Amino acid sequence: MNPRISIPAFRGAFGLKTQTPLGNGWICRSCRRNRQSRATFSTSRSSQEKPYYITTPIFYVNAAPHVGHLYTMVLTDILKRWQVLRGKKAILCTGTDEHGMKIQRAAAQAKTPPKEFCDLTAETFKTLAKRAELSNDHFVRTTDEDHKEAVQYFWHMLKEREYIYESKHEGWYCVSDETYYPESAIEKRLDPFTGRTFMASQETGKEVEWTSEANYHFRLSAFQDRLLDFYKANPNFVVPVSRMNDVVRWVSEGLEDLSISRPVERLTWGIRVPDDENQTIYVWLDALINYITKAGYPWAPGQEHALGWPADVQVIGKDIVRFHCIYWPAFLLALDIEPPKQILTHAHWTLGHQKMAKSTGNVVNPFFAIDRFGIDAMRYYLAHDGGISDDSDYGNQFIVERYKKGLQGGLGNLVSRITRPKIWNVQDAVNAARSESLTKIDSSIEKQIIMLEALPAKVSAKMEELNPGAALQIIMDAVYETNKFLQNSQPWTLANAIKAGNFDPEVAAQMKAKIDSTVYHCAEATRMVGILLQPYMPGKAAQLLDMLGVDESKRTFTHVRLRDDYEYGLPKTPVGRDAWDGLFPPLPVDT
């Protein structure tokens, strides 16, 4: 196929699986099996809005997950739930990467067949997603049949467009990173424990080995200008901007063609190159295609966007930027498929200021952490302290500190102080707030009103920047400010004074109005914060809103407005009587 063929002609010939077979006559099994049903798809574009589509990276199953994987899941889930909170249909895809030399070697070391080895570890990642309360719509495995067929179809399209060629390849290959590195990116290193010298990647520090083999290559070098043009037209493609600058610099320095297959004698565990059983498709080409597998690729005409593609955000760790921000858009541009809109690259978690890595065992077991602190506290801590630009150091003492200050002493304390006292009633305060005059009785409330009116826009702005951690800190600042406002106002002093009597009825009425106004504006802060915290702590946020008696239909972003809801105040769940049955009870002593 002429690589400059127009996209309408391309889609007309190959966009629907049931159309004319590819040049060599190959058709995937599901295409043959579903020929009749797929032919009934409409070719008109759907008028329905494209779902918001967000992905985690697919996690490599050569070892069990650590807390860094949990962070990626939580970060992605917060962004997805935020879109749902905004009233959008959103789709989250996660999964496992199960092919490649690392898996082949790990399975051999475990004396387990590769598929059985993958099944066991993939199940562990599925369990982690469930324990993390990940609201994923898909869990893709690269051993899934529909994914295999999508990969082989994608390969054929690249070959038909003459972007794949055969050649002998020599170079430094890193099994751990599953990639070749140029000579300029290699250096000699010394193992401080054994004294052994070895060649390693400058970027990752992982050992490389010299290989020479005949395989297939992708014409990556042909995409230097197209990629640079794409980056220029989409300056926010990579977040944060520092990594966007790195990507532009790497591409500007030049691109080499990419080896995209391995001889079967070296790599048996993977997807075979169609019509060449002697070659296995490169694990990174295989893995990246997962993102469009669950978006319905290959698409029937007019259905390209029905399941969410292009992705609105793809969340990855900073160590796989090159693959996702250079190789991935180049593969897609080769087939005139729109690249993702943005890629959020986050920093790493360290332990003892050393990068967490399965290979070194310097990791935190996420299941133990969830068992110890609870998923809401873990989601809060990871979102609050997790880094986007800079790494964060993990520590149980930091979790305890965040819990005691932010959750127990901050939010939990505010909820208790507002909902538990017998000397006032939240529902009465909300009913009293229907009177416009109530909000104007005291100038001391003005600062609280201004803060609450600005809150939703401030949070939204940080979420638009793909910075949930900064948004969370704004939310928690509102909690701290409301606690200060409540402490300075001291409505309990007025309430006890009224109870004691000796006041003119008109004065007592004014005092009661001030109590109601204070309680109301504290309750409003708690209600608004509770709604905004739903993406972060789904369980605890729901409990908080139940304690306030907020109706389920009034928990969306549109309701995060001062004086939006006058129907709450009657608890749907017990508010508790002491610290131990509060929203955030004290942590166990041994924590």
State the number of CA atoms in the 13 A half-sphere of 579 facing the CB.
9
Structural domain contains residue 486: yes
Structural domain contains residue 495: yes
Distance CA 28, CA 17 (A): 8
pLDDT at 430 exceeding the cut of 90: yes
Structural domain contains residue 576: yes
Q: How many CB atoms lie within 10 A of CB 210?
A: 10
User: Encoding tokens for residue 560?
Assistant: 């995060």
Contacts within 8 Å (CB) and 24+ apart, 482-488? 482/414, 482/448, 482/521, 482/522, 482/525, 482/526, 482/529, 483/410, 483/413, 483/414, 483/417, 485/447, 485/448, 485/518, 485/521, 485/522, 486/414, 486/417, 486/418, 486/518, 486/522, 488/444
CA 343 to chain centroid: 10
Q: Is 342 helix (H, G, I), strand (E, B) or coil?
A: coil
Structural domain contains residue 466: yes
Q: Which of 136-140, 300-304, 372-376, 548-552 has the weakest average pLDDT?
A: 300-304
- Beta strand 197-201 with 186-190: parallel, antiparallel or unpaired? antiparallel
pLDDT of residue 190: 83
| Number of structural domains found in the chain | 1
Structural domain contains residue 553: yes
| Mean predicted confidence (pLDDT) in 563-575 | 95
Structural domain contains residue 543: yes
User: Encoding tokens for residue 80?
Assistant: 């997805």
pLDDT of residue 588: 83
- Tens digit of each residue's pLDDT (9 = 90 or more) over 318-330: 999 999 999 999 9
CATH number assigned to the domain comprising residue 422: 1.10.730.10
**Do 31 and 37 contact (CB within 8 A), yes or no?**
no
Q: Which of 171-175, 284-288, 466-470, 488-492 has the weakest average pLDDT?
A: 171-175
Q: How many CB atoms lie within 10 A of CB 341?
A: 15
- Tens digit of each residue's pLDDT (9 = 90 or more) over 348-375: 999 999 888 776 778 999 999 999 999 9
Q: What is the pTM of this model?
A: 0.87
Residue of higher predicted confidence among 122 and 24: 122
Q: Which domain holds residue 498?
A: 395-581
State the angle between helix axes of 446-464 and 505-532 in degrees (0 to 180), rounded to the nearest 10.
Answer: 10
Q: Is 105 helix (H, G, I), strand (E, B) or coil?
A: helix
End-to-end, the C-alpha distance of the chain in Å comes to 64
Structural domain contains residue 505: yes
Structural domain contains residue 573: yes
- Dihedral in degrees, nearest 10, Cα atoms 190, 196, 197, 198: -100
| Mean predicted confidence (pLDDT) in 83-100 | 97
**Do 469 and 386 contact (CB within 8 A), yes or no?**
yes
